[in-house]
A and B are shown apart, each in its own frame.
Chain A
Amino acid sequence: MRLYLDSSVIRRSVDGTSSERAAAVAWIKKAAESPAGTILLSKLVRAECLVMPYRNRDSELVERFESVFRDNGIVLVSISDEILDLATRIFAEHGIKMADAIHTATAVHGQCDALIARDEPWTKKSPILGLRLIAFSDLAAADGL
């Protein structure tokens, strides 16, 4: 399974409470069930995750996030012109925030099976260009992928 995890999921996995982390790791384990399972992230996820640790001058937390983004299991994707064009179309047609549109476009471009994000309103727009948007709280939905 090839999953795109929104910043809200990666944030929960690193600096969330134990229960939030367990819920985030459950999604990574879902992807890991298939030998070729992959987690795909935009570099925008990295940026969004690092804002608060930089603001709080928390270098330990910065390093914790960076170690996740360096991991071999993660495919970290730059925002190319093609992705930005796709994001513009999604932004115009689906009424979501530009950041959400960039995440969605990256997942569509990367041929992900689904994008996992915090709950509504973003995930209510599912599907976008054939991509399923699944609420973070709906782990059971992964069984239908």
Chain B
Amino acid sequence: MDTFTLPAHIEDGSVLLDAPLPANVQSVEVRVTVATPQPNRLSSLIRLIENFPPGTKTGEEIDAEIEEIRDGW
């Protein structure tokens, strides 16, 4: 039994062959290639931050320090 690969494309959700079927086809299997989704560039940043050791500053302390810096202009 010989196996052939035929080119095809998807149109409106259906598989359409781009070449004629050979004679005496016994069975057909469809192999699809799925694009790998590109991870967002921010996923590495999220991983980086989540791996930092826990910090100690409360939101109020951070805001007060930033306020001090901005008031120093």
User: Residues of A with Cβ closer than 8 Å to B?
Assistant: 7-8, 11-18, 20-21, 24-25, 28-29, 31-39, 48, 51-52, 64, 67-68, 71-74, 97-100, 118
Contact = CB atoms under 8 A, between A and B. Distances in A.
Interface residue SS majority, chain A: helix
B73 A16 contact: no
Contacts of B71: 97
Contacts of B56: 15, 17
Contacts of B66: 7-8, 11, 48, 118
B49 A68 contact: yes
Interface of B: 37-38, 40-46, 48-50, 52, 54-59, 62-63, 65-66, 69-71, 73
Given A98-B73, A99-B70, A20 B40 contact: no
Given A17-B54, A21-B55, A118 B63 contact: yes
Contact of A73 (B37, B44, B50): B44
Contacts of A118: 59, 63, 66
A25 B57 contact: no
Given A16-B57, A51-B69, A73 B63 contact: no
Contacts of B54: 17-18, 21
B40 A73 contact: yes
A11 B52 CA distance: 13
